[in-house]
Amino acid sequence: MLGTSFFGAVRDVPRAVRLPAFGSFLNGVVSFTFVHLTGPRGLSVPQAGVVAGIGGADARGGCRSGVRTTGAARLTWQVRAPGPDRDHPARPVGPGGASPVRFRVMTDTTPARTTGAVAAGLATIAGDGSVLDTWFPAPELTAEPGPAGTERLAPDQAVSLLGEGAAKAVGVDARRGVEVVAVRTVIASLDEKPLDAHDAYLRLHLLSHRLVQPHGQNLDGLFGLLANVAWTSLGPVAVDDVEKVRLNARAEGLHLQVTSVDKFPRMTDYVAPKGVRIADADRVRLGAHLAAGTTVMHEGFVNFNAGTLGTSMVEGRISAGVVVGNGSDIGGGASTMGTLSGGGKERIVIGERCLIGAEAGVGIALGDECVVEAGLYVTAGTRITLPDGQIVKARELSGASNILFRRNSVSGAVEARPNNAVWDGLNDVLHSHN
């Protein structure tokens, strides 16, 4: 017996816009059908609309929801059916009497970030006066930070704010050709762009100390404020002075190790967040946000202004600007498209309990409980075959939940299917003892 597919009637939604709606059945077994409402370069819905009439008989209730962001507006959708499964909102809607799917446009009501930050720290100043780094051991957010800027602290002030060790930490380091000074930096508003290198380093510390989440502050112009530095076993060194410093080290019987030449140091040389395991510290930049319960394995990588919001396994790449939800797994060698190189503008968010398989990748956002099979890279322009045979670009599914992305091993077509067989999730043993 052939199953019956139900397509919701669309009211008050512009014809140029398409969104996913779901619901079809075959003898009481859930299958998946998409109604698509698309528009050029994302969603643009000026008024509310309703997709109605998804349902059938003998329904097992369920709930399904999602969110899609376009500029300052967010489009949310939800399908809710009565029944015993209401406590499991991530499961697909059963083939029963579901209430209408309602779409509404929500303007971003998040209040402007007026919070500032303040911290005392130690800065390394090169011979030419450039700031090589600034370490802030205990940054704080504050509603009344005072005027923005950085001031150099007197010895007694440094001891008062940083502790007794500050008195010995400051001074000229002739071996590296630098001077270490104590400073106090104030950010009047995190909405304003960084003023100088000290300000930039404080913002990176706020991220790695988990005081601010990715995209929670203005980082415009940050790259231009940071010097390119040789990060060595003796501390930061001006790139032009590396060989001189290497000789000075040899003269003292020391071997200078240069771990990288970059604008960003390793996070663990400045911040070691609690509840986190990092197998290779070189793979996590200062400015990464790692939530408690996160494990970053040897092939994992986390850039600045990116990271995790909950317990996660990271065996692949979390690029700049990418945020991973609680319970998700970035498989070995997997990749997420960031917003730095290649002119990428869309922020990639990986929802909760998602799995990106080994050597797979995504250039779209994923909702909750999505799976991308191993070896499959889903870019925004990837053409996806839906269960009804319709072909759409992957960007039209961006942010949708409970989808399995796979490549048909016979036809080679990339397909989107309902993720009915939810993966087993993270291994609790690996994350509960971080």
**pLDDT, tens digit, 9 for 90 and up, residues 311-367:** 999 999 999 999 999 999 999 999 999 866 554 567 899 999 999 999 999 999 999
Residue 130: exposure state from Cβ atoms within 10 A (0-12, 13-18, ≥19): middle
| In a domain? residue 211 | yes
Q: Do 23 and 162 belong together in one domain?
A: no
Q: Do 423 and 286 belong together in one domain?
A: yes
> pLDDT tens across 94-141, in order?
333 333 323 233 333 344 455 899 999 999 999 999 999 999 999 999
Q: Do 295 and 358 belong together in one domain?
A: yes
Q: Do 103 and 156 belong together in one domain?
A: no
Q: Do 400 and 350 belong together in one domain?
A: yes
Q: Do 76 and 133 belong together in one domain?
A: no
| In a domain? residue 243 | no
Last residue of a domain, one of 199, 224, 249: 224
Residues involved in catalysis:
315
Residue 342 in tokens = 């290649």
Q: Do 211 and 299 belong together in one domain?
A: no
Q: Which residues are annotated as a binding site for Mg(2+)?
A: 282, 299
Q: Which residues are annotated as a binding site for succinyl-CoA?
A: 317, 332, 335, 358, 373-374, 381, 393, 406-409
Looking at residues 73-95, what average pLDDT do you find? 35
| In a domain? residue 234 | no
| In a domain? residue 144 | yes
Residue 49 clears pLDDT 70, i.e. is over it: no
**Mean pLDDT of the chain, nearest integer:** 78
pLDDT bracket for residue 267 (50, 70, 90): very high
What's the pLDDT score for residue 296? Answer: 98
| In a domain? residue 198 | yes
Q: Do 293 and 274 belong together in one domain?
A: yes
What's the pLDDT score for residue 433? Answer: 56
What's the pLDDT score for residue 340? Answer: 61
Number of domains in the chain: 3
What's the pLDDT score for residue 203? Answer: 99
| In a domain? residue 236 | no
| In a domain? residue 209 | yes
Q: Do 186 and 142 belong together in one domain?
A: yes
| In a domain? residue 13 | yes
What is the domain range of residue 82?
A: 4-107
Looking at residues 276-303, what average pLDDT do you find? 97
Residue 369: exposure state from Cβ atoms within 10 A (0-12, 13-18, ≥19): buried
For residue 67, list its beta bridge partners. Answer: 76
Q: Do 133 and 210 belong together in one domain?
A: yes
What's the pLDDT score for residue 347? Answer: 85
Q: Which residues are annotated as a binding site?
A: 282, 299, 317, 332, 335, 358, 373-374, 381, 393, 406-409
Q: Do 133 and 99 belong together in one domain?
A: no
Last residue of a domain, one of 107, 140, 169: 107
Q: Do 277 and 359 belong together in one domain?
A: yes
